[in-house]
Amino acid sequence: MNNPEFSENKHWYALYTKPRHEFKAEEQLKSCGVEFYLPTIVRIKQWSDRKKKVTEPLFSGYIFIHGNERDRLIALEQYAIVRSIFFEGRPAIIPDWQIENLRKMLEKGEDIVVTDKLHIGSKVKIINGPFKDIEGIVYESANQERMLAITIDLLRRSVVVKIPRDSLIEQKSGAV
């Protein structure tokens, strides 16, 4: 097949899932052999009688796949997946560096917040400390804590984490 749409070039795609079906989508993608990434976070939930650690998707209603067009079409056949995110009439491709930055940030297990109301600031790269080599946007919170945001542009969401004061930051020019 010489169709360039079905080439072996792999890209990251974001897919919408049915409400509260992110883990079901993960199971279905695993069973059909499509490479996926479901970023999760552990939160403490309070019930009337106890507290419990609960693993939740970081982005409610989304899962990411890494594959070619054939893999994307296979993923769309799964019951828990609703559709792809499109940009300008084509399936939106998420840059590898955005997924890598997200993975690095989540590996640290720090206090993380997802927001869609980010104040744009300086583009930076952390050059030491627990978030070394992560690139993002720094801004000050209301209580003057330095925060780092990693943005998944197509989702219009940012993952925000507190930066330790002793982390060195290098200002970047141009795109992050």
- Give buried/exposed letters for 91-103 (b at 16+ CB in 10 A, else e): bbebeeebbebbe
Domain ranges of the chain: 4-94, 97-171
pLDDT of residue 116: 52
Residues contacting residue 55 through CB under 8 Å, at least 6 positions apart: 40, 41, 42
- Please state, in angstroms and as integers, the Cα–Cα distance from residue 132 to each residue in 102, 114, 169, following that order: 13, 20, 9
Q: Are 68 and 13 in contact (CB under 8 A)?
A: no
Q: pLDDT value at position 140?
A: 60
Predicted TM-score (pTM) of the model is 0.70
pLDDT of residue 136: 76
> Is 105 buried (19+), middle (13-18) or exposed (0-12) by CB count in 10 A?
buried
CATH architecture label of 4-94 = 2-Layer Sandwich (3.30)
For the chain, 176 residues long, give each residue's pLDDT as a single digit of tens.
445 455 578 999 999 999 999 999 999 999 999 999 999 988 888 888 888 988 999 889 999 999 999 999 999 999 999 999 988 889 999 989 889 888 888 887 666 766 554 344 667 777 666 667 777 776 665 565 666 676 776 676 777 777 665 565 555 655 44
